[in-house]
Amino acid sequence: MSYSVIDIANKVIANTDINQGETISNLKLQKMLYYLQGFFIAAYDKKLFNEPIEAWQYGPVVREAYLHFKVFGHGAIILEEQEEILNLPADEEDFFCEVMKEYGQFSAIKLMNMTHEELPWKKTFYENPQGEISYELLKEYFKTQIDY
């Protein structure tokens, strides 16, 4: 089952440790969504969320999530207190946390630079700026990044 990208984005934001001084901008959120989707496809052969990822100038972007959180500009995204956070099945939750731990430690700019070096964004952006990064391209690339 795939989820709403807004539900996954809220989960990413909720898993950012504000008490430790960490915040998440829309730029960083977009890169985290890309890594979560890519690794999820590689591991489970299905999408974590249905909305497409596009190859924009500053890296991969899920347009729906970008527009939803655009109101925060370049600043930290803050969730409403009553926002309900999605609970994933245990194996998916563990996987989500693993990707968050591995990639959440990097700044938005570092993540952007990383995505600019990776095949899914590079191939799509240079062939069709703002084009959709395909499922197959994500699967092919991220399968090479997983340690089984």
Provide the token pair at 60.
């991969």
What is the 8-class DSSP label of residue 64? H
Query: What pLDDT is recorded for position 147?
Result: 74
Give yes or no for residue 19 having a pLDDT over 70: no
Residue 83 maps to a domain = yes
Residue 50 maps to a domain = yes
Residue 20 maps to a domain = yes
Give yes or no for residue 67 having a pLDDT over 60: yes
pLDDT band at 49 (very low <50, low <70, confident <90, very high): very high
Angle between helices 119-127 and 135-143 (to 10 degrees): 150
Query: What pLDDT is recorded for position 82?
Result: 82
Residue 43 maps to a domain = yes
Containing domain of residue 31, as a range? 5-143
Chain position carrying tokens 């090479």: 144
Residue 148 maps to a domain = no
Query: What pLDDT is recorded for position 18?
Result: 64
Residue 103 maps to a domain = yes
Our count of domains for the chain comes to 1
Residue 118 maps to a domain = yes
Residue 117 maps to a domain = yes
pLDDT digits (tens, 9 = 90+) for 68-115: 999 999 999 999 888 899 999 999 999 999 999 999 999 999 999 999
pLDDT band at 148 (very low <50, low <70, confident <90, very high): low
